[in-house]
Amino acid sequence: MTTADDKHLVPDDSLFRQLVDAAPDPMVGADRHGRIVFVNGQAERLFGYGRDELIGQPIEVLVPDDLAQAHREMRERYFANAVHRAMGGGEPLRARRKDGVVFPTEISLSGLRTDSGLIVSAAVRDISDRLRAEAERVRLREEADRAALQAQLLRTQRMESLGQLAGGVAHDFNNLLAVIVNYAAFISDSADEQHPAGDGPEMWAEVRQDAQQIMRAARRGGDLTRQLLAFARQEVVRPQAVDWATVVHGVEDMLRRSIGEHITLSITCGGDCGPIMADPGQLEQVLVNLAVNARDAMPGGGTLSIETDSVMVDGDHVTHGPAIKPGEYARLRVSDTGTGMPREVVDRIFEPFFTTKAPGQGTGLGLAMVYGIVTGAAGTVTVCSEEGVGTTFSILLPVTDQRPTTARPAEPRLDQLAGHGETVLLVEDEPSLRQVCRRLLDTSGYQVLAPNDAAAAVELADRHPGSIDLLLTDVVMPTMLGTALAERVTAKRAGTKVLFMSGYATPFLATHGTLDPANTLLEKPFTRRELLTAVHQALAG
């Protein structure tokens, strides 16, 4: 009950009472002794007490027991300083209702000077709903982050599995393609020997044309396996310092022919774009694939924009794939004004064999190859697309301190690649390809030793009476890897040069997709010129 003496603690001002009751926040006032001297209607509803139940009670009746002592000490310090102040923010405080329920609050304090002395007015806000909403936002954000991380992990695992499959298929498939392309060349050469082009019966012209069709199809098959291996980061890479601008301008004419006259090509190369360490041929493949995809997205015409510049990447950079290190990067952006893509397509755009094109119009390997080349060069690729507006691919590759080189050696003539009786130890576990290689070398002036397998090659190297100038060996063989064979042969014959050949050699010859400079590799499928060039260069050291 409120006594007569207690009522004197309350400011006797009807206007004051009206103002306090009109306040939107619950308000409680206490004197220097900690007794409650006024409450408003909002405070009655918040704490569950009637006004008469609170007036004259210690303010700690509204504080949880575990905070009561600390609250008394804080109140005493407040009155001792006796200045106007406000308290808010920081960690939420706690208050207690009449039914014992404790809830989080924000409290703002202010001092009121009255005839009865200093009174502390506390505006109390229940922040339970706010904290629950914040907790829910945090939970949803964490769930979204976990879901995104899981999706990226699954995507990476799926791509790694497909990459392993691609490597296994490429080895056998490239052996077959090497046989096909060279036997087709044999047929074409025979037709030329029988009747040079333009002479003789029409039959020989048809034979020549058929052989050329076979070679074109085989080369197309070789391109597909290279795209698979590039996606899987298992293609042999020969990186060098190169400028994006050099690569872009080097394929500019090809791009203009590829995209057609109905599409405008705009190229802007920033002068501050530093050099990158990559395989120039692979970068050209990246540009061509992105340009062709942009062309297909603009059947009615539009603009294809290619831009290069330099950017600094921080730790918060978001990638489509593995994270990249902070630092300076050279950026390539390829944008079109085409049809754009929905989110579900963007999420799968780099998966091999995934395509939105009609059957027969695309393999679904082009962008998978782009992804493999870029990530294999320690870079990242991102996609921004909006349906009806267009698509932008953004590629970042780390800037290198090395300087670009531009000189390219002239391609020698076939007669300059002929041998002069040098002995070649040929080791290839695929019989048909071994026969092809032997025939190509025999007819080009080389002496060829061609055992059936690696074990026989070791025995032959031990007992052959003459010199062995070159070991030409496959890398992936069932009983012995080509690298192990090379070690055994060169241990006995130190002067023997080594040339590896394979359609799937990276795991055995390279680190992070980069060919070991100590090894020379001929990639399958290869033509006569490519084989003879590689042999000539290997013998020349």
CB 39 within 8 Å of CB 55: yes
Q: What is the CA radius of gyration of the chain?
A: 40
Q: Which domain holds residue 149?
A: 140-231
Separation between Cα atoms, residue 196 and residue 200, nearest integer Å: 8
- The separation between CA 508 and the C-alpha centre of its own chain, rounded to angstroms, equals 25
Lowest mean per-residue pLDDT among 160-164, 216-220, 257-261? 160-164
Percent of the chain scored above 90 by pLDDT?
28
Q: How big is the CA angle at 483 (ends 482 and 485), to the nearest 5 degrees?
A: 60
Average pLDDT rounded to a whole number, residues 82-100? 64
Residue 408 is assigned to a structural domain of this protein: no
Reply yes or no on whether the pLDDT at 311 is more than 50. yes
Tell me whether strands 276-278 and 263-269 are parallel, antiparallel or unpaired: unpaired
Confidence band of 305 (pLDDT split at 50, 70, 90): very high
Amino acid at 446: Y
Give the CATH number of the domain where residue 456 resides. Answer: 3.40.50.2300
Count of domains observed in the chain: 4
- Domain shared by 275 and 203, yes or no: no
- Domain shared by 108 and 219, yes or no: no
- Domain shared by 80 and 222, yes or no: no
Residue after which a domain boundary falls, among 126, 159, 177: 126
Backbone angles phi, psi at 197, to 5 degrees: -55, 130
Mind giving me the DSSP string for 53-64?
HHTTSBGGGGS-
Please report the sign of the dihedral spanned by the C-alpha atoms of residue 266, residue 267, residue 268, residue 273.
Answer: positive
- Domain shared by 361 and 486, yes or no: no
- Domain shared by 470 and 518, yes or no: yes
Dump pLDDT digits (tens) for 409-452. 667 777 788 889 999 999 998 899 999 999 999 999 999 999 99
CA-nearest of 246, 264, 426, 445 to 332 is 246
Rounded to two decimals, what is the model's pTM? 0.54
CA-nearest of 26, 115, 120, 113 to 76 is 120
Dump pLDDT digits (tens) for 339-382. 898 888 888 888 777 776 665 565 667 788 888 888 888 888 98
Lowest mean per-residue pLDDT among 3-17, 123-137, 341-355? 3-17
Reply yes or no on whether the pLDDT at 525 is more than 80. yes
Tell me whether strands 263-269 and 302-313 are parallel, antiparallel or unpaired: parallel
pLDDT at 5: 41
Helix-helix angle 431-442:528-540, to 10 degrees: 70
Residue 270 is assigned to a structural domain of this protein: yes
Q: Count other C-beta atoms under 10 Å from residue 333's C-beta.
A: 18
Mind giving me the DSSP string for 14-38?
HHHHHHHHH-SS-EEEE-TTSBEEE
pLDDT at 219: 81
- Domain shared by 315 and 433, yes or no: no
